[in-house]
Amino acid sequence: MPDLPIASDFSLASLNTFGIAARARRYLRVTEVPQLAAALADPDLAALPRLVLGGGSNLLFTRDFDGLVLHMALSGREIAGEEDGCTLVRAAAGENWHDFVQWTLAQGLGGLENLSLIPGTVGAAPIQNIGAYGAEIKDLFHALTVFDTASGQTRTLRAADCRFGYRDSVFKHAEGAGLIVLDVTFALPTAWQPNVKYAELANELAGIAAPSPRQVADAVIAIRRRKLPDPAVIGNAGSFFKNPVVPGAQCERLLQAFPNLVHHRQPDGSEKLAAGWLIDQCGWKGRNMGAAGVYPKQALVLVNNGGATGDDVVRLARAIQADVLARYGVQLEAEPVFV
Ligand SMILES: Cc1cc2nc3c(=O)[nH]c(=O)nc-3n(C[C@H](O)[C@H](O)[C@H](O)COP(=O)(O)OP(=O)(O)OC[C@H]3O[C@@H](n4cnc5c(N)ncnc54)[C@H](O)[C@@H]3O)c2cc1C
């Protein structure tokens, strides 16, 4: 049996990017896969509610967690082979996402560069199908390995099994809730082409006719550093709301009342609205409620100005949702997982 260094009444304040003070009844830093089976074989631990924790960058703690936190710290990354004109690269769940992306670039492999500087771990990347600057991980995904807490077995899931959607996957639904991601494999195209369809990224690269993957990554990093607060300086979980997707007819009606409405047509005829624009128009940018606030440079980001509780953030989020619903008839949905 592997060693199970279980801690009790463990502080999670430094393990979530919002910097919310919360504690876990039991805590295990998972550094090897057999620890998961061993934890489930322990009747006391198995009886507790479980929270799988990566970098804590997409979570909001609203209370102490009265259960077992499994903090994924599995490490390792490798080039796993070639298949169908792609190089397969694999990383363990606990690897830092941005470091992994930079490592692929250092190997001369393009594909993940638009997703540079997203906080968190490799294992959490498929959970909400992370995306930025016109790319999502589903576009380069090959397979992942999970530990199934129901059976105690490991198995491989392919893209269809993961049911990726906009900030969504099977892991966010009941069928996938008992699955712990152990490693993820990506297929990076040998014949790489830059993906600069996102206007802001194209502008940043203006003057470079044929940018390299490194140059695209640097442009993404520069934009993100300008726009987003660094969680090491000011607590936040990135975009707090998903961009709402509404039927085309609803968007038409909104455009009659609000001609400047920011919207992007989807292949199925629905329209994705810019949640940040809606919030900004309701006058929330830069406003605070208690110790929680709306980031002055980006209305989509809620911040902990120091000492905020999860409840402070929830109260602010509810007030924003109510205003956007009243003005636009659009329900904003939170992106982070509330614990
Ligand atoms: C400044 C900032 C910018 C951001 N920008 C973006 C962005 O551009 N695009 C984007 O998509 N997201 C963005 N995010 C959100 C966040 O970085 C991603 O969602 C990231 O993938 C979360 O990783 P994590 O390891 O921190 O997950 P956590 O916050 O620890 O966990 C998130 C969820 O995944 C589950 N989970 C974690 N690891 C595993 C695992 N191994 N197996 C099963 N379940 C697991 C958790 O239980 C939880 O439900 C941003 C966040 C911040 C703070």
- The tens digit of pLDDT for each residue in 96-139 reads 999 999 999 999 999 999 999 999 999 999 999 999 999 999 99
Q: How far apart are the first and last CA of the chain?
A: 30
Closest C-alpha to 213, from 110, 321, 328, 324 = 110
Active site amino acids: 167, 239, 335
Q: Tell me the HSE value of 205 on the side-chain side, using a 13 A CA sphere.
A: 25
Q: Is the CB of 300 under 6 A from ligand 1?
A: no
Distances (CA, A) of 278 to 16, 239, 290: 27, 13, 22
Which tens digits make up the pLDDT trace of 151-205? 999 999 999 999 999 899 999 999 998 999 999 999 999 999 999 988 999 999 9
pLDDT at 11: 97
CA distances from 130 to 178, 203, 322, 336 (A): 20, 23, 27, 12
**Res 12 pLDDT > 90:** yes
Nearest atom (ligand 1) to Cα of 146: 42
| CA nearest ligand 1 atom 27, residue | 54
Q: Which atom of ligand 1 is nearest to the CA of 236?
A: 53
Under the banding of pLDDT at 50, 70 and 90, the label for residue 3 is confident
Cα separation, 219 vs 208, in Å, equals 11
pLDDT in tens, 49-94: 999 999 999 999 999 999 999 999 999 999 999 999 999 999 999 9
Ligand 1 binding pocket includes 59 (Cβ within 6 Å): yes
CB contact at 8 A, 71 and 55: no
In whole angstroms, what is the distance from residue 107 CA to residue 122 CA? 17
Residue 54 Cα to ligand 1 midpoint, Å, equals 7
User: Encoding tokens for residue 196?
Assistant: 């600069």
In Å, how far from its chain's centre is CA 334? Answer: 12
Residue 164 Cα to ligand 1 middle (Å):
15
Contacts of 304 (CB under 8 A, 6+ apart): 18, 19, 20, 234, 235, 236, 291, 292, 312, 313
